[in-house]
């Protein structure tokens, strides 16, 4: 699976006397909830000083992936470049204000597309990020707004954490890419919000799978105000969150976290978000080069996989898991990871 790499400046003009560099090897790990990792090795680039982006192209020329260009390192006439996920633009600690209201008194942010427009664009306006980019939020317009899920606060916090919390709450994922501006015939960095709505049924025994499960997580929260109001939330075994105790669906042993705030609404929103962040804390890794792995080659981050025979000892068990990461390389290897359990879950 050969391809070539191309360095681009911040306006996506390719650099160098010969702009295409055949890649001797490359690896690409795309992740839904963490930052992507990319490495590409080619013959030395003669001009990398103005490099802002590095593009990995398929052999037909189609742009497979674009990332910010890391510092190239050269050894024995081969240069290795590590790509930095473009979503690092959102890895900022800034003031986020969800309390703004319109002249009519309604909150300015009261739709999912409004929330993502604020998080991906408006909150960074005027900060001279130095990179032009577009956002595509068409699919966010199809998602129903839930007021309880947003803590109406105005405070300095991690923008990326808030984006991931919104992704977890609404089953959305923000994917970096580059779209073609047909008029200027130029690539434009674009962040696309995609719904996770496709479903595929699979049986774990059909694939060579490695599984991890983290049971050491908070599965109940209690929101509490200083005046004494309380509300309990439960994370159920089907990865939904609710307020009713259900002995058949609640997870055991219970691990409870109490969140106390002056503002009761803020406490409730944070309590719900804590449990939403703990959904799908499983990890199943499927090597697509084995057994029936080829049947999953078209699966991307818009899929939920309904995994039956999840517990090998009990064939009736099933779990619904989103896609966590897709890893591929120049040798044709491809691996799919399901769930939302980070590679470093044991350090959390």
* Cβ nearer to other proteins, comparing 18 with 346: 18
**Distance in Å, CB of 6 to other proteins, minimum:** 7
**Distance in Å, CB of 180 to other proteins, minimum:** 4
- DSSP string covering 62-117, please? -EEEEEEE---EEETTEEEEEEE-GGGGG--EEEEE---B-TTSSBS--SHHHHHH
Report the SS3 class of residue 105. Answer: coil
* Cβ nearer to other proteins, comparing 237 with 290: 290
* Cβ nearer to other proteins, comparing 22 with 256: 22
* Cβ nearer to other proteins, comparing 266 with 287: 287
Taking a C-beta distance cutoff of 8 angstroms, is the pair 174, 120 a contact? yes
Nearest to 275 by CA among 243, 307, 304, 310: 243
Report the SS3 class of residue 154. Answer: strand
**Distance in Å, CB of 97 to other proteins, minimum:** 38
Q: How many residues does the chain have?
A: 348
**Distance in Å, CB of 271 to other proteins, minimum:** 47
* Cβ nearer to other proteins, comparing 24 with 111: 24
**Distance in Å, CB of 186 to other proteins, minimum:** 7
Peptide bond preceding 253: is omega within 30 degrees of 0, i.e. cis? yes
* Cβ nearer to other proteins, comparing 183 with 248: 183
**Conformational region of residue 114, where left means phi above 0, alpha means psi within -120 to 50, and beta covers everything else:** alpha
**Distance in Å, CB of 215 to other proteins, minimum:** 33
DSSP assignment letter at 289? T
Q: Which H or E run includes 78? A: strand 78-84
Interface ranges with other proteins (CB under 8 A): 4, 6, 13-14, 16-22, 57, 59-63, 180, 182, 185-187, 289-291, 293-294, 332
Q: What are phi and psi of 56, to 5 degrees?
A: -105, 120
**Distance in Å, CB of 18 to other proteins, minimum:** 6
The contacts of residue 223 (CB under 8 Å, 6+ apart) are 230, 231, 232, 233, 259, 261, 264, 267, 268, 270, 271, 272
Q: What are phi and psi of 115, to 5 degrees?
A: -65, -45
Taking a C-beta distance cutoff of 8 angstroms, is the pair 156, 171 a contact? no
- CA end-to-end distance (rounded Å), the chain: 36
* Cβ nearer to other proteins, comparing 60 with 102: 60
* Cβ nearer to other proteins, comparing 59 with 348: 59
Alpha-carbon distance of 253 to 263, in angstroms, equals 30
**Distance in Å, CB of 205 to other proteins, minimum:** 13
Tell how many helices (H) and how many strands (E) occur in the chain. Answer: 3, 22
**Distance in Å, CB of 53 to other proteins, minimum:** 13
Q: Return the structure tokens found at 282.
A: 């499983």
* Cβ nearer to other proteins, comparing 138 with 297: 297
């Amino acid at each position: 699976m050969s391809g070539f790499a191309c360095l681009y400046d911040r306006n996506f003009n390719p650099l160098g006397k010969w702009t295409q560099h055949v890649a001797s090897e490359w690896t690409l790990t795309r992740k839904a909830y963490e930052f992507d990792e990319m490495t590409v090795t080619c013959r030395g680039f003669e001009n990398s000083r103005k490099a802002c982006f590095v593009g990995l192209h398929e052999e037909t020329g189609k742009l497979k992936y674009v990332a910010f260009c890391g510092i190239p390192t050269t050894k024995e006439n081969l240069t290795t470049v590590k790509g930095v996920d473009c979503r690092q633009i959102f890895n900022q600690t800034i003031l986020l204000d969800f309390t703004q209201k319109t002249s009519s008194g309604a909150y300015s942010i009261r739709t999912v597309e409004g929330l993502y427009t604020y998080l991906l664009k408006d909150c960074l306006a005027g900060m001279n990020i130095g990179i032009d980019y577009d956002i595509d939020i068409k699919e966010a317009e199809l998602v129903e707004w839930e007021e309880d899920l947003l803590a109406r606060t105005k405070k300095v916090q991690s923008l990326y954490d808030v984006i991931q919390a919104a992704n977890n709450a609404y089953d959305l994922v923000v994917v970096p890419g580059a779209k073609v501006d047909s008029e200027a015939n130029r690539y434009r960095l674009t962040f696309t919000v995609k719904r996770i709505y496709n479903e595929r049924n699979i049986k774990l025994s059909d694939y060579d799978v490695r599984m991890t499960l983290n049971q050491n997580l908070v599965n109940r929260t209690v929101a509490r105000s200083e005046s004494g109001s309380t509300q309990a939330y439960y994370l159920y075994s089907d990865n939904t969150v609710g307020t009713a105790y259900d002995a058949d669906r609640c997870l055991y042993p219970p691990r409870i976290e109490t969140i106390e705030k002056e503002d009761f609404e803020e406490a409730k929103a944070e309590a719900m978000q804590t449990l939403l962040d703990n959904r799908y804390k499983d990890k199943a890794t499927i090597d697509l080069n084995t057994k029936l792995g080829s049947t999953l080659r078209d699966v991307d981050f818009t899929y939920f996989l309904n995994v039956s025979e999840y517990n090998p000892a009990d064939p009736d068990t099933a779990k619904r898991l989103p896609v966590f990461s897709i890893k591929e390389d120049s040798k044709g290897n491809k691996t799919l990871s399901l769930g939302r359990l980070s590679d470093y879950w044991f350090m959390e």
